[in-house]
Chains A and B, each alone.
Chain A
Amino acid sequence: MKRVILFLGGLTLTLVLLGVLVASSSPDGLEAVAESLGFSDRAVEGEPYSPFADYEFRLIDSSWPAQVTAGLLGVALMYGFGIVFGRLVRRGRGG
């Protein structure tokens, strides 16, 4: 179990640190379909209210650190969720 956790943890950090350098910014499948069928302008984008909108921390100008900061925040939030949910699972069975 420990080896699997180390493997997945290492993979996660590699994805955040290096993946953002090579990620494609082309439209994804749904965006491409919306463009070709002419309904992409129906998306309500609105003003970015979050400082992390589109996976970039707005307070940093340079793109790699801005994306890595956003990525690490997301990773930390999901890890935190896992801890909270794990407690809920244990408590749910009265253990």
Chain B
Amino acid sequence: MHIPDGFLSVPVWAALDLAAIPSVGYFVRRTQRSFEDSRIPLLGVLGSFVFAAQMINFPVVAGTSGHLIGGALLAFTLGPSAATVVMTAILLVQALVFQDGGLLALGANVINMAVVGVWVGYVPMKLLGGRGPNLRGFAAFLGGWLSLMAAALLAAVELSLSDMAPSGPLFASMLGIHAVTGVAEGLITAVTLTAIQRLNRSFVLPSEAA
């Protein structure tokens, strides 16, 4: 759901560009303070993986497609602060090099997917992660689904503020289609994290003991 240029009115994209800069700066500093040294090699590995996954669209319903966004996946493996920074870098590379997502709309895409998508996606694991492996799998699924829904909801708010379409149909169709795509997001997130957890029990964040 990378918003292209032209979909957002000037006040909307400008405000979100201005909001995105200090937000990402804040999460860079937070990562510097709290990121575990042992996980540093993962910054590149997970950024590459999520970039590659975002390239591959799968069919959804009625002639549409979707791809993994990976906000929850990054949050559960890098922690949410570093996840925001890595997702921002992915969106930046996609906009600059691959012309996917607008340059002026970059702030909107960062706020939707890298900030709100990541942090909303992190909530279920934070709340349910300490209560056994079954609930961890469910929390991973729910995190993926919610992260996509949160990003879709924000995109709908921004498009609505930009007067692109009447709000009712806009919200209904954005949330409707992403509720379905979100099931795939949730399943991919849960399956990938379960596989990773089999290889390394303490890997998925927050770790079980916490």
* Chain A residues near B (Cβ < 8 Å): 1, 3-5, 7-9, 11-12, 15-16, 19-20, 22-34, 36-39, 42-45, 48-50, 52-55, 67, 70-71, 73-83, 85-86, 88-90, 92-93, 95
Contacts and interface: CB of A to CB of B under 8 A. Distances in A.
Most buried by B among A34, A75, A85: A85
B99 to A, nearest CB: 4
Interface string B29-73: 101110101101111111111111101111110111111000000
Interface stretch (B88-96, B118-126, B130-138): B88-96
10 contacts: A9-B49, A22-B56, A25-B57, A26-B60, A39-B159, A54-B98, A71-B52, A75-B52, A78-B86, A79-B48
A55 B40 contact: no
Most buried by B among A76, A81, A90: A81
A44 B64 contact: no
Nearest to B155: A30
A33 B47 CA distance: 28
Nearest to A3: B199
B189 interface: no
B25 interface: no
Contact of B47 (A1, A15, A55, A79): A79
A23 B1 contact: no
B15 interface: no
Given A43-B5, A92-B29, A26 B63 contact: yes
B35 to A, nearest CB: 5
Interface string B99-115: 11010000000000000
Give the dominant DSSP class at A's interface: helix
B48 A82 contact: yes
Contacts of A12: 45, 48-49, 52
A15 B56 contact: yes
A29 B185 CA distance: 13
A84 B166 CA distance: 44
Given A54-B98, A55-B98, A92-B32, A36 B173 contact: yes
Nearest to A87: B40
Given A1-B200, A37-B170, A77-B93, 17 more contacts: A1-B42, A3-B199, A5-B45, A7-B196, A15-B55, A20-B56, A26-B57, A26-B60, A32-B63, A34-B164, A54-B100, A74-B97, A75-B52, A80-B44, A85-B85, A85-B86, A95-B37
